[in-house]
Chain A
Amino acid sequence: MAAVQDGPMELDTEKETKPEILSDGTSKLSGNAASGTLSSSPLTAGGAPKQEDQQTLIAVLQFLRRNKLSESVEILRREAGLEDQEDSQTLDGSGGGKGDRDGGEANSLLSRVSITSAAAPQSTLTPITVKRANEQLDVSVVLSAYSQQGDPSLYQVYYSGLKNFIESVLDCHRAELSQLFYPLFVHMYLELVYNNHENEAKAFFEKFGGDQECYYQDDLRVLCGLTKKEHLKGNEVLLDFRTSRFVLRISRDSYQLLKRHLQERHNNQIWNIIQEHLYIDIFDGMPRSKSQIDSMSGSFAGEARREVNKVKVFHGLLKEPEIEVPLDDEEDEAENEEGKPKKKKTKKDSMGSKSKKQDPNAPQQNRIPLPELKDSDKLDKIMYMKESTKRIRLGPENLPSICFYSFLNAYQGLTAVDFTDDSSLLAGGFADSTVRIWSVTPKKLRKVKSAGELNLIDKESDDVLERIMDEKTASESKILCGHSGPVYSVSFSPDRNYLLSSSEDGTVRLWSLQTFTCLVGYKGHNYPVWDTHFSPFGYYFVSGGHDRVARLWATDHYQPLRIFAGHLADVTCTRFHPNSNYVATGSTDRTIRLWDVLNGNCVRIFTGHKGPVHSLAFSPNGKFLASGSTDGRVLLWDIGHGLMIGELKGHTDTIYALKFSRDGEILASGSMDNTVRLWDSTKAFDDVETDDFTAATGHIHLPDNSQELLLGTYHSKSTPVTHLHFTRRNLLLAAGGYSSQ
């Protein structure tokens, strides 16, 4: 999975950037290749068990000889030689008699070797097995084939043995060791399936499936339907699960305890799985509590490794470009609103000084080449600054007003909404493949005149920009047709000239809001594109879809500039960091990843969600990230430290919309449960920032203060909240399709 993103990629200039990765299915190919190599060994193992056993016996012999364990070699050879003789006799008789332990001495020996006598070591073989247990670590590499070949009927014994052990250990270790249950369960089940022990697999699942944590339900549902090896082949998600290592974080004490137990009991089957498929991140210090573990677990592939989140992230904001605000204009306004001019001035000053001071956490201004500001952009910036001086300061005592835009008669299904930054336009994506744009100000939407008519216009005139518009086309809404499947997301460019839409048909389309036509169809994702988002500076955009990768594009390139691969399941939502240097993606594998746009590396992995992540929002200062998922919880993350810093419980359904207020004081969340909730984000961030210890160890201890942080819940009658947007003056706009059921 890392192969795709490894190549050093430099964005030299905008013009020279070339798409590094040409093939659209690269990640898929690599995934398949990986699974192919992996599956080859069990294939042969399963196909000719006898052959395989002999080969491994020889391998063991060689290993023992190399280590000068002549005694063991002799014994083993004697046994093996005996076996060899008998083998020829019994071979035809016992084709698949692996589990048949009474079938003959040879077979029993074989099986014991293969299981490494974990269950019932017989007296004659004790010396060998004990020794082997000691060397288990090294030999495990050679014996990897065995891991798929244990006695299927004994899997339950192993698992329940471990379960009994974990349930009997001290409380402080139990919570940590309980993390082992789920990955072991899945791997053992998959192994059984892999080796065609269908009935054993079913029995195993039925016996232990119910013990698993409730948040793995969805995976278990997938798992339970899967009973054949062929099924496994087609299921990329589970193949990824096998190839990637499930990450656990366990304290040293607990780990030692586990290790000792497994060695004492010679429970090599489990030990092998732990060695092969799990990555145990051992830390020194106190074992974590159940609640601490629960808050971080839930992801498809375990927790994030600690070192993954140690990379420095430049989460500061870029320096605002200096724009001279025409002074006379300002003064005019000051006169208009007498009584407030002083206030304004001071605010203005503070803003100016802020932009001059370089944030130590900010990336270099030219770390990512950004488009030059056009005159119109500067004008817009000025407008923005003017508006922001009139902004209402929000807080727990001063909550924003909420204005709800309901889409009526949206029988075809409203799937996505976006507002422009200045709240003048609204775009809706629909399941009938159309995109509609509304003007929410009195200004109507007009097309640019056709080329022939444009020729007639006097290009020198002052109001040329006004003249190029075709008055006849003025209307309040426009329909954009072009997609051939439901539109799953829409995103306006910051300059309001373009609109992006992504669809089930696998394309991302760029629409012009001057001509209301499609300009480009970006083809790359072969599968539905779930989300797309414009960079805050325009030009770049990111998309993510069912093919489990997120792609970075530039509007003038028809192929992606970067492919962010690493998620184990669909990328459901994508967001640009306010400084445009990073991209956050949320996925069905219940993780959130932060990617560096510069080199395509994954710099943060956030785990803790218990359901697919469906919404993301960066705080305006770039320090924090909020994410919402189908489980109805909002999680808050500190990007700099790579930590979870808050959990907001309250929603009862999927959270599809998250937005910070313009100053970051309020977090608004909108959900399928027809509510908008407001949260005190300042308090949530402050409560945690004081704690240094958590930053050092990475062990968070979340206060359960959702109720204190919840500032308000606002119900709509029957309108799920699809999108939230704060105007520049901090009025909250919400949008959703009215559902009559």
Chain B
Amino acid sequence: MAEERRQKLCSVILPTESMKAMAESVGVGSLQEDSCLALSEEVSYRIKEIAQDALKFMHHGKRRKLTTGDIDHALKLKNVEPLYGFQSQEFIPFRFASGGGRELHFYEEKEVDLSDIINTPLPRVPLDVSLKVPKEQQKTDSTEPLKAVKPGQEEEGSIQTKGQGASSAEVKGKEKMRMKPRSTHELSVEQQLYYKEITEACVGSCEAKRAVCVCNKCYLFLFQVRVNVVQNNLALLIYLMRMVKALMDNPTLYLEKYLHELIPAVVTCIVSKQLCLRPDVDNHWALRDFAARLMAQSCKTFSTTTNNIQSRITKTFTKALLDDKTQWTTRYGCIAGLAELGHDVIKTLIIPRLSVEGARIKAVMDGPVVSNIDKIGADHVQSLLLKHCASVVAKTRPLPDMVDQYKVDYGYLGTMLCSHVVKARAQAAFQAQTVNRTTLTITQPRPTLSVSQSGLSTSSGSRAPSIIKVPSSLTLMSTRPGTPTQPSPPATKYIVMATSAGAASTQQVITLSSSQSGSPVTSTVPSTPTSLQPLVKLESGNTGAVSGSRPLQKYIVVSLPSSSSSLENKSSSVLPSSTSPISMESAVKLERSESPAANTQSH
């Protein structure tokens, strides 16, 4: 192939007829055939030579296109007068003519009337050369992580003339004005007219017209979303989404035909990278949530076996979710979109991803250098995940809720998820059985009690069946002193305040003791070292009785560590190691000494 081409190159010479024509044009009438041949060979070679030189100028001019200027310069190299003023509007300026048995290509030089040139209005002055550094790049300091400049990014964003945050404001503004038309996607004139018509019709009074238009609106709608996404007009996008909602809620409209227009627009609002001008301030998350709900609704309403909307949408979201490079905003949208589709979707698609997402969030949260936007994004994704997953996990996961197990299963998010699940379960329980609440609170502590006071548990053995129910929150406390010390409010009536790590155990004991019936009291009291008693202040009071007959006691326990000097008994050696059973026992005892009545009351 290459060979053929080269052969061609080698053999290509100008036809002798052109020589004749050229000779005639300069006044040489009759040219011998031989001289024509010789001339054409020579001319061909020179042309090739000049073209090769012109290529050099093109390369050094850092262009991909050979210009007439390059040829001028190449001619100049050969000491040939360049063809000044040779330029044309068209790509190939030559005209073809035939006649008298000859075919000719010629360059048409029109005669122009000078007065025409003088009278024509001056063309617009071309814009001057200016320097531009994209905004996001401008912000980059050498300490920030590298941002890849994706194609197109360079032209979007606002335009600035100077590098490194150094430009003066007015120049910036000027540049922006100048450059804006280039960076936005404007509606064509036809589309604008159409838009106007439709809007008028919708707002107008003609009912028949309106019916037609509502449908057409869908088509238009896509444009609007597209335009507004580009312009980052959050408010308008929200209105548009509301409009979709209204359209969908309207039972008299058949939207099936326009789904292909609607759905891309809605999905755009869910997953678009940027929906507003200031992603760190504006609440575009709400828009995403809303759009996600819309999407779910339309899936429910319109998904059939033929159009497969739900599976297609799911696939789209999952794909974006699985991509490592997806931005936080898009990630949020994907998760929201999936979550709205129902528990099954959450279970199969989101929950398995929890640990991965957790790691990602952790990297952002704990990572050293992070842009604010990323952090906000990660934060939102985290709360979204917790919100949606907790209820599902609470339903699907068997008891007990062990923090460690959660951590193993769900990674970084495990801890938080666990507490959310507990909350969710409690809530569910609260709603389900308000009557049983008291017993629940009482029975809760029992397993922990057996841990701390192994010897004492025998007495509570009879209550075992009811105890097993919600032990998780208490286990959590006993094993991990550092975790939030407040048990979920509806489940227990004890508000415990701890100021030290060690205090957690103390407080835990309190719950224990409160629930514990009076039987062990006598046995523990004597074993308590008296020195410990001041450590824990126990306030007991009557809460409003939940179940009227048996008022529950509410204990606010303030435990202070040995280091805090407010209490007289600083010297106690037991305190720092308050996790030890002794301290717990002490606490238990302490309580018991004051609360036998309550205990007895509850049983």
Binding site for B on A (CB under 8 A): 202, 205-206, 209-210, 214, 217, 220-222, 224-228, 231, 234-235, 392, 399-415, 426, 428, 430-431, 436, 438, 440-442, 476-477, 485-486, 488, 504, 527-528, 530, 546, 570, 572, 588, 612, 614, 630, 654, 656, 672, 712, 714-717, 719-720, 722, 727, 729-731, 733, 737-738, 741
Please list the 9 inter-chain residue pairs (A to B) with the smallest Cβ-Cβ separation, ordered nearest first: A210-B3, A224-B10, A225-B48, A401-B140, A409-B127, A731-B142, A440-B163, A399-B146, A406-B132
Q: Is the CB of A436 within 8 A of B61?
A: no
B496 CB, min distance to chain A CBs, angstroms: 40
In the complex, which residues of chain B have a beta carbon less than 8 angstroms from the beta carbon of A738? 132
Q: Which segment of B49-57, B203-211, B259-267, B304-312 sits at the interface?
A: B49-57
16 example contacts (A-B, Cβ-Cβ < 8 A) are as follows A401-B142, A402-B137, A403-B137, A403-B138, A408-B131, A408-B132, A409-B126, A410-B129, A413-B62, A440-B162, A477-B131, A528-B73, A712-B148, A715-B149, A722-B62, A731-B140
B62 touches A717 (CB 8 A): no
Cα A202 to Cα B6 in complex, Å, equals 11
Q: A209-B6, A392-B142, A572-B60 are in contact. Are A226 and B130 (CB under 8 A)?
A: no
The answer on a CB contact under 8 Å between B137 and A209 is: no
With contact pairs A214-B2, A727-B142 given, residues A546 and B163 touching in the complex (Cβ less than 8 Å): no
The distance from the CB of B499 to the nearest CB of chain A, in whole angstroms, is: 32
Closest Cβ of chain A: how far from B129's Cβ, in Å? Answer: 5
| Chain A residues, Cβ within 8 Å of B60 | 415, 486, 488, 528, 530, 572
Given contacts A210-B3, A405-B163, contact A714 B140 (CB under 8 A): no
Given the interface contacts A409-B130, A415-B60, A415-B62, does A401 sit within 8 Å of B10 by beta carbon?
no
Q: Chain A residues near B382 (CB, 8 Å)?
A: none
Which A residues are CB-close (under 8 A) to B161?
476
Given contacts A546-B56, A654-B59, contact A442 B168 (CB under 8 A): yes
Whether A209 contacts B61 by the Cβ 8 Å rule is: no
Which residue in chain A gives the minimum CB-CB distance to B161?
A476
Q: How far is the CB of B299 from chain A (nearest CB, A)?
A: 36
The segment out of B151-159, B194-202, B352-360, B533-541 that lies at the interface is B151-159
Residue among A403, A546, A712, A738 with max Cβ neighbours from chain B (10 Å): A403
Indicate which residue in B3, B48, B65 contacts A209 across the interface (CB closer than 8 Å): B3
B45 within 8 Å of A by Cβ? yes
Are A717 and B152 also in contact (CB < 8 A) when A214-B2, A729-B142 are? yes
Interface size of B by Cβ–Cβ distance < 8 Å?
62
> Which residues on A sit within 8 Å (CB–CB) of B462?
none
**Chain B 60-98 per-residue mask, 1 if CB under 8 angstroms from chain A, else 0:** 111111000100010001000000000000000000000
The reply to whether B2 and A672 contact each other, CB–CB distance below 8 Å, is no
B149 & A714 in contact (Cβ 8 Å cutoff): yes
Quick one: given A202-B10, A656-B62, are A403 and B164 in contact (CB under 8 Å)? yes
Shortest distance in angstroms between A337's beta carbon and chain B's nearest beta carbon? Answer: 13
B119 close to A (CB within 8 Å): no
Residues of B close to A715: CB separation below 8 A:
149-151
Q: Pick the most buried of B140, B146, B179: most chain A CB atoms within 10 A of its CB.
A: B146
Report the minimal beta-carbon distance from A170 to chain B, rounded to whole angstroms.
27
Which residue of the partner chain A has the closest CB to B144? A401
Measured between beta carbons, the chain A residues less than 8 angstroms from B138 are 403
Asked if B147 is at the interface (CB within 8 A of a chain A CB), the reply is yes
Given A226-B45, A504-B57, CB of A442 within 8 Å of CB of B179 = no
Question: Is A206 in contact with B7, judged by CB distance below 8 angstroms?
Answer: yes
B451 at the interface (CB under 8 A from A): no
User: For the complex, what is the distance from the CA of A392 to the CA of B77, rounded to whole Å?
Assistant: 47
What residues of A have a CB within 8 angstroms of the CB of B6 in the complex?
209-210, 217, 220-221, 224
Query: Judging by beta carbons under 8 Å apart, are B41 and A426 in contact?
Result: no
**Do A225 and B149 touch (CB < 8 A)?**
no
Instruction: Give Cα A404–Cα B69 distance, bound, in whole angstroms.
Output: 29
B143 interface residue per 8 A CB criterion: yes
Min C-beta distance of B255 to chain A, whole Å? 38
A588–B146 touching, CB < 8 Å = no
The answer to the question of B566 belonging to the interface, with a C-beta cut-off of 8 Å to chain A, is no
Task: Give the shortest distance, in Å, between A732 (CB) and chain B (any CB).
Answer: 9
CB distance from A85 to the nearest CB of B (A): 38
A217 to B1, CA, bound (A): 13
Closest to B134 in A: A404
Which A residues are CB-close (under 8 A) to B171? 476
Q: Collect the chain A residues with CB atoms within 8 Å of residue B130's CB.
A: 407-409
Q: Does B246 contact A (CB under 8 A)?
A: no
Collect the chain B residues with CB atoms within 8 Å of residue A214's CB: 2
> Which of B52, B56, B163 has a CB less than 8 Å from the CB of A733?
B163
What separation, in Å, do the CA atoms of A399 and B155 have in the docked complex?
Answer: 23
| In the complex, chain B residues whose CB is within 8 Å of the CB of A442 | 162, 166-168
Majority secondary structure, B binding face? loop
Q: In the bound complex, how far is the Cα of B378 from the Cα of A109, in angstroms?
A: 94
Task: From known contacts A403-B138, A715-B149, infer whether A720 and B129 are also in contact, taking CB-CB under 8 Å.
Answer: no
The CA-CA distance from A426 to B162 in the complex, in Å, is 11
The chain B residue with its CB closest to the CB of A713 is B148
Name the A residues within 8 Å of B3 (CB-CB).
209-210
Contacts of B129 in A (CB 8 A): 407-410, 412, 414, 428, 430, 436
Q: Which of B45, B56, B163, B167 contacts A231 (CB 8 A)?
A: B45
User: Knowing that A612-B59, A731-B141 are A-B contacts, what are 16 other residue pairs whose CB atoms are under 8 Å apart, sorted by A's residue number?
Assistant: A227-B41, A399-B146, A404-B133, A404-B137, A408-B129, A409-B128, A409-B129, A410-B129, A428-B129, A441-B166, A476-B162, A588-B56, A672-B64, A715-B151, A717-B153, A731-B140
B-chain residues with CB within 8 Å of residue A205 when the two chains form the complex? 10
Residues on the B chain within 8 Å of A221, using CB: 6, 9, 52
B232 within 8 Å of A (CB atoms)? no
With A202-B11, A408-B132 given, is the CB distance from A401 to B141 under 8 Å? yes
Select one of B9, B131, B163, B168 contacting A224, CB under 8 A: B9
Task: Tell me the smallest distance from the CB of B128 to a CB of chain A, in Å.
Answer: 6
CB-CB under 8 A from B65, the residues of chain A are: 741
In contact, B146 and A225 (Cβ under 8 angstroms): no
Q: Is B44 at the interface (CB under 8 A from chain A)? A: yes
B44 touches A225 (CB 8 A): yes
Give residues of chain B (260-299) contacting chain A, Cβ–Cβ below 8 Å: none
Closest A residue to B69 using CB positions: A431
Residues of chain B within 8 A (CB-CB) of A727 are: 142
B45 touches A485 (CB 8 A): no
Q: How far is the CA of A146 from the CA of B41 in the complex (A)?
A: 29
Q: Tell me the complex Cα distance, A428–B137, Å.
A: 21
Q: Return chain B residues, CB-CB under 8 Å to A614.
A: 59
- B64 — which chain A residues lie within 8 A by C-beta? 672
Q: CA–CA, A536 to B494, complex, Å?
A: 77
Contact with A along B99-122 (1 / 0, CB 8 A): 000000000000000000000000
- For B51, the closest partner residue in chain A by CB is A225
Residue of A nearest to B11 (CB): A202
B48's nearest neighbour on chain A, judged by CB, is A225
Q: Which residue of A lies closest to B163 (CB)?
A: A440
Q: CB-CB < 8 A to A392: which residues of B? A: 142-143
| A205 nearest in chain B by CB position | B10
- B144 surroundings in chain A (CB, below 8 A): 401
A224 — nearest CB in chain B belongs to which residue? Answer: B10
Q: Which residues of A contact B69 (CB under 8 A)?
A: 431, 486
Known contacts A392-B142, A403-B163, A714-B149; A411/B126 CB under 8 A? yes
Interchain CB contact under 8 A, A630 and B163: no
Among residues 5 to 53 in chain B, which have CB atoms less than 8 Å away from a CB atom of chain A? 6-7, 9-11, 41-42, 44-45, 48-49, 52
Find out whether the CB atom of B45 lies under 8 angstroms from the CB atom of A228.
yes
Contacts of A654 in B (CB 8 A): 59
Complex interface: chain B residues within 8 A of A209 (CB): 3, 6-7, 10
Contact of B146 among A402, A486, A546 (CB under 8 A): A402
Whether B149 and A440, one on each chain, are in contact in the complex, defined by CB atoms closer than 8 angstroms, is no
B131 to chain A, nearest CB (A): 5
Point out the residues of chain B lying under 8 angstroms from A719, CB to CB: 154
Determine the distance from Cα of A717 to Cα of B183 in the docked complex, in whole angstroms. 12
A677 CB to nearest B CB, Å: 12
Query: Which residues from chain A contact B179 at a C-beta distance below 8 Å?
Result: 408
